[in-house]
Amino acid sequence: MNRRHLAAAVTALALALSGCATAATGSGAPQDGGTLTYLDAEIPTSAQVQESGTWQTRALQQNVTDRLVYRNAETGELEPWVAESWEVAPDGLTYTFVIRDGVTYSDGSALDATSVARNLEWQSAGDAEKGTTPNAQFPSGLTARADDATRTVVVTLTSPYAPFLNVLTSWSAGLVADATIDAPKEEQQRFVHLIGSGPFVVESEEYGKEIVLVRREGYAWAPPSSPNQGEAHLAKVVVIPVLEDSVRLGTLRAGEGDVIRYVQPSEEKGLVDAGFHVVAGTGVGLSNQWFLRSSAPFLDDVRVRHALQRLIDRDTIVDTLYTDSWSPATSVLAPGTFGYQDVSDEFAFEPDAAAALLDEAGFTQRDADGYRTKGGQRLTVKTYIDVYDNTAKSLFQAIQQQLKEAGIDLQLNELDYSTYWATAFKDPEVGFLRVGWPHPDPSRGLQQYYSKDGQDLLGLQGSDARLQELLDAQTAAVDDATRQDLLAQTQQHLVEQGYVVPVLDDSQVFVTAERVEGFRLTDGALPEFSTTSLTQ
């Protein structure tokens, strides 16, 4: 069986601190029925499983499909779900899953061993003919053999892949019926064609307007630790995208909406005073961080990178711009993530130490504007404001101000949503950019960012052999203790070398009306509607 219990004990405390909050629950049994109006800040676009990328899409996929393995958001522990048990061979090459009996998809077809095997192979290989890409978190070359008589699926990998069980808990690992897999890509992208076994079924979809979820009749296969083992309490969930912040908020306050996703931090207090509940959570994965590119001007000097890490006063930023729902980052990983280690001592706010580092690096002169110079060149660092975070602009400006006091000229540039990746990541002048979002597995996440075989955001091309070795070794470390140790060393190394500046532990912030009960967030900070109920 899995040996994740030690890890769970460590992460449980961290998670309790990181605030996986639940809306206040009243006394007595949750009321049955009713329609919950959920106002999202964005438009869910594509339901295609492997491409699951945006918060608003994941929120739906989470509630419409089930996964093999469940990660308890409170304890961080892996628990059975559609797989009632599993066994990992010592060599890490074979996984044997026993599939829960009697699970069906909403179209009536069976979620049996055969279906699981097909899903896993489909996730691993994609479907080139349909333009369906493989799921980037899955190991490639996976083969799965099903035996419906014994309800077992035997998965064989070509090489050990330690992140596998974590990946199976992911929002992008939802199991879907043959009807979805067989459909053309354009149909797979529609939510009404996302046929899962989850507690809700997509009843209708009007693009950009609303998506209606109805509860799945006869649902009886929630994760054993869920407070609701049966059908969802709510009869319906109507998901309506309301893009304008002020309109979304006004609609909630006027009583027409029950839950909204995302409010400006400055609004939170007024809402709580008015009787609303703020439910916020940090998903497991990577913290909100900057990667520093040593190929950019001045950043080849590790002393300058170290100075940048020590010049951000995170506590002040959280106090002035954010609320209790947010916290300063303490590592490259978010608290509660498998293998997380607090390395905040390495980048504490130390302006004096940073000034000494910059002096040492030769930036001793100051120009007319008060910026440090070396050989007549101003210490300028260029970046683009993150387009994915609604609070990014004020955050970047606050940091710009803090760096200015230390004599560093932070140049902020803005791009629109569609051109951001393509322009910002290709710009050789760029010193850093923001990355860091929830990820089902930390090793896979770090490899995708920082390995030479991933995006290689640092641009090292493997020149830091130790970093590459640490990242590579995690894939095969099927022993949890070994992998935790490697993860700890990796976090330490990324910070020590001045490669990464952890900034914040990001939060997904939801506001619920007083009549909403039991609304809670998953390990990935997604809304869970099956435990939610309405009192009126």
Residues that bind another protein (CB under 8 A): 37, 39, 43, 45-46, 48, 51, 53, 126, 128, 130-131, 133-134, 136, 140, 185-190, 206-209, 240-244, 246-247, 250-251, 253-254, 256-257, 416-423, 425-426, 435, 437, 439, 448-449, 454-455, 457
Q: Which is nearer to another protein, 151 or 425 (CB)?
A: 425
DSSP state of 286: B
The SS3 of residue 42 is coil
Closest distance to another protein from the beta carbon of 46 (Å): 6
261 contacts 36 by C-beta, under 8 angstroms = no
In the beta sheet, which residues pair with residue 438?
285
Q: Measured from the CB atom, is 253 or 374 closer to another protein?
A: 253
**Nearest Cα residue to 137 out of 166, 113, 174:** 166
Burial of 275 (0-12, 13-18, 19+ CB in 10 A): exposed
Min dist CB 172 to another protein, Å, is: 8
C-alpha pair distances (Å), 135 with each of 72, 106, 126, 452, 472:
23, 23, 7, 19, 19
Residue type, 35: T
Quickly tell me which residue has 């910059």 as its tokens. Answer: 358
What phi, psi does 121 have (nearest 5°)?
-65, -35
Q: How far is the CB of 367 from another protein (least distance, A)?
A: 33
CB-CB contact of 64 with 528 (8 Å): no
Rounded to a whole number of angstroms, the minimum distance from the CB of residue 481 to another protein is 28
Q: CA 529, 49, 76 angle in degrees (round to 5)?
A: 55
Least distance in angstroms from the C-beta of 449 to another protein: 5
> What letters, b where the CB count within 10 A reaches 16 and e where it falls short, cover 303-329?
bbbbbbbbbbbbeebbeebbbebbbbb
Q: How far is the CB of 524 from another protein (least distance, A)?
A: 13
Nearest CB to another protein, comparing residues 142 and 311: 142
Q: How far is the CB of 32 from another protein (least distance, A)?
A: 24
User: What separation in angstroms does the CA of 272 have from each of 9, 269, 347, 400, 510?
Assistant: 33, 5, 34, 31, 12
SS3 236: strand
In the bound state with another protein, the residue whose beta carbon lies nearer, of 256 and 479, is: 256
Beta carbon nearer to another protein, 159 or 246? 246
Using the minimum distance from each CB to another protein, give the nearer residue, 96 or 423. 423
Q: Which is nearer to another protein, 60 or 103 (CB)?
A: 60
Minimum distance from residue 35 beta carbon to another protein (Å): 11
Cβ within 8 Å of residue 279, ≥6 positions away? 21, 22, 23, 509, 510, 511, 512, 519, 520, 521
CB of 181 to another protein, least distance (A): 15
Whose Cβ is closer to another protein: residue 180's or residue 448's? Answer: 448
Residue 361: which residues within 8 A CB-CB, separation 6 or more? 301, 303, 304, 307, 374
CB of 120 to another protein, least distance (A): 17
> Rounded to the nearest 5 degrees, what angle is found at the Cα of 392, between the Cα atoms of 386 and 397?
105
